[in-house]
Amino acid sequence: MEQGDRAAGITLPAHVSSREINDDQYHAIHESQRTQAGALQRQAHDLGIPVIILFEGWYGSGISQMVRDLNRTLDPRGFSYHPIAAPGPLAREHHFLWRFWIRTPARGRIAIFDRGWYARTILDRMDPRKESRVSGSYVDEILGFERTLADSGVALVKMFLHISKKEQKQRLRRLKKDPLTMGHLEGDLDRYIRYRKYYSLVEDLLSRTSTGQSPWHVIDAEEKKYTAVTVFDTILRRLEGAIGEAAKSIVHEAKPERATGENQPSIEHSAIGKADLTLSIDRTEYDSRMRSLGKALAESQIRLYQEKVPLILIFEGWDAAGKGGNIMRVTRSLNPRGYAVMPVGPPDTGERGRHYLWRFFPALPARGHITIFDRSWYGRVLVERIEGLCRRDEWTRAYREIREFEGSLAEDGAIIRKFWLHIDRDEQLSRFHQREADPEKQWKITEEDWRNRARWDEYEVAVDQMIHLTSTPEAPWVVVEANDKYYSRVKTL
């Protein structure tokens, strides 16, 4: 199951053999496992390895008991527990993976998911009487999500607790007699009744989402002591492997290097190279166009809200290119109840401990709302690349991760528009001097702006590659000629 990108198909046995362990064996093995788990948790913390333990399984298969066992074993300061119920109103207003992305762990921490992006997200939405196979788009998005986690160093352990229909029926019958669990089960009884109908659907989903990086482990859960020993063994082996890989990477890992100007291609025929920066309009035309465009934008916001379409606007560009001014002209036409502007600076300590995309998920718009990003996740392939804040393999991988991320949002119904505000060097220098001379604008010019300007050629190549590699039909880049601010604002609207 560990070889290749896609693991072999998974077959769930209809009759699960009950594998018993006597009490003496169980206590001897399990106490040793618990001691080892504590030691591995500390090593994973010291090495900065994020860990996700995901439990899926049939209703009544014993997930809650396994979670309790882990809770008693691990240091509570180093893990978080996420019991996943059906999506609530806020989760339904976002992409289906949104509520899982925001719960992914920081480096060195463990996240335990009591069900996750499989049962509560996909299977609960499906009618097994009509469908025997999960939509390919769901599968592709899950595979992309898990690949992104794995590539960023997350150790993901996926376990499916398997019991027979007969065993499930007996367990749920006992649970129904318990007043503490009866209310919880009432809403889930139809799933127990449809065990055989869900069977092929579950088997299909497990087979198609078991990969070399993130394989499924089907756990025989008929006998509880055997289940506990097997679950812990699965987790321990994955942690040992992740710790071994991390220790090797520390020895061999290439340190981030500042980008150099060597072997930089010509950008003469690129999207920014072909931009006509002489384009301009006069004030009269500007005022007239802005009035009509502002009215159209306000009407469009109403339609977005009525049709529950989220809109994501991204503004990137050269320092002093006019991003702030363009954003102000966009928002003047909008109802403030329906939009938010997210200015993006360097990640803080907590954000640096997670995947670079993580900090943007809380700001993604709900259905019918708008988020405007003043700089964005493209910092990964711009400033972080140029300033050597991440390794080459990290920023080159980011192009694919960003395409998949934006494609997933678009597949879920979002509109995404990305603006690169383009000016030439002379115009930037003129604006820098204007800011320095104006007391009300001096706060806008910093030493960092001058340092970035000194590396213009390197940034120019990075921008060209960014646009070329991440402009897609569903999330296109718009190069805005911004030497003339009036023209720039009109084109943006």
pLDDT value of position 2 = 37
Confidence grade of residue 90 (pLDDT, cut at 50, 70, 90)? very high
Residue 65 counted as domain residue = yes
Residue 115 counted as domain residue = yes
Confidence grade of residue 269 (pLDDT, cut at 50, 70, 90)? low
Task: Quote the mean pLDDT of the chain.
Answer: 89
Residue 223 counted as domain residue = yes
Locate tokens 């503004």: which residue?
Answer: 315
pLDDT value of position 261 = 44
Please report, for the domain that includes residue 325, its CATH number: 3.40.50.300
Residues 229 and 368 in one domain: no
Cα 444 to Cα 313, 376, 422: the distances in Å are: 22, 19, 18
- The residue among 160, 152, 143, 162 whose CA lies nearest residue 214 is 143
Query: To which H or E segment does residue 196 belong?
Result: helix 195-208
- Evaluate the CA torsion angle 358, 401, 419, 434 in order and state its sign: positive
State whether residue 334 is helix, strand or coil. coil
Kindly tell me if the per-residue pLDDT of 263 is higher than 70.
no
Confidence grade of residue 176 (pLDDT, cut at 50, 70, 90)? confident
Residue 151 counted as domain residue = yes
pLDDT value of position 93 = 94
Kindly tell me if the per-residue pLDDT of 186 is higher than 60.
no
Residues 198 and 328 in one domain: no
Domain that holds residue 453: 283-492
Residue 372 counted as domain residue = yes
Angle subtended by helix axes 165-176 and 195-208, to nearest 10: 120
156 with 214: CB under 8 angstroms?
yes
Residues 98 and 200 in one domain: yes
Residues 368 and 232 in one domain: no
Q: Phi and psi at residue 451, in whole multiples of 5°?
A: -65, -40
Residues 423 and 353 in one domain: yes
Residues 222 and 369 in one domain: no
pLDDT value of position 148 = 96
Q: What is the mean pLDDT of residues 440-456?
A: 88
Residues 300 and 412 in one domain: yes
Kindly tell me if the per-residue pLDDT of 146 is higher than 50.
yes
Kindly tell me if the per-residue pLDDT of 465 is higher than 90.
yes
Residue 4 counted as domain residue = no
Task: Dump pLDDT digits (tens) for 233-249.
Answer: 999 999 999 999 988 87
Residues 238 and 354 in one domain: no
Residues 327 and 418 in one domain: yes
Strands of the 370-374 sheet, one edge to the other: 339-343, 370-374, 311-317, 415-422, 477-481
Last residue of some domain: 252, 273, 293? 252
Locate tokens 């978080």: which residue?
Answer: 80
- Evaluate the CA torsion angle 12, 18, 23, 24 in order and state its sign: negative
Query: To which H or E segment does residue 313 belong?
Result: strand 311-317
Residue 203 counted as domain residue = yes
Q: What is the mean pLDDT of residues 373-395?
A: 96
Kindly tell me if the per-residue pLDDT of 265 is higher than 90.
no
Q: What is the mean pLDDT of residues 305-313?
A: 97
Residues 287 and 246 in one domain: no
Confidence grade of residue 123 (pLDDT, cut at 50, 70, 90)? confident
> Is the model more confident about 480 or about 348?
480
Last residue of some domain: 233, 252, 271? 252
Tell me how many domains the chain contains: 2
Residues 193 and 288 in one domain: no
pLDDT value of position 181 = 58
- The residue among 97, 133, 140, 101 whose CA lies nearest residue 117 is 97
Confidence grade of residue 252 (pLDDT, cut at 50, 70, 90)? low
Confidence grade of residue 253 (pLDDT, cut at 50, 70, 90)? low
Residues 334 and 464 in one domain: yes
pLDDT value of position 466 = 97
> Is the model more confident about 250 or about 441?
441
Cα 232 to Cα 73, 105, 307: the distances in Å are: 10, 20, 47
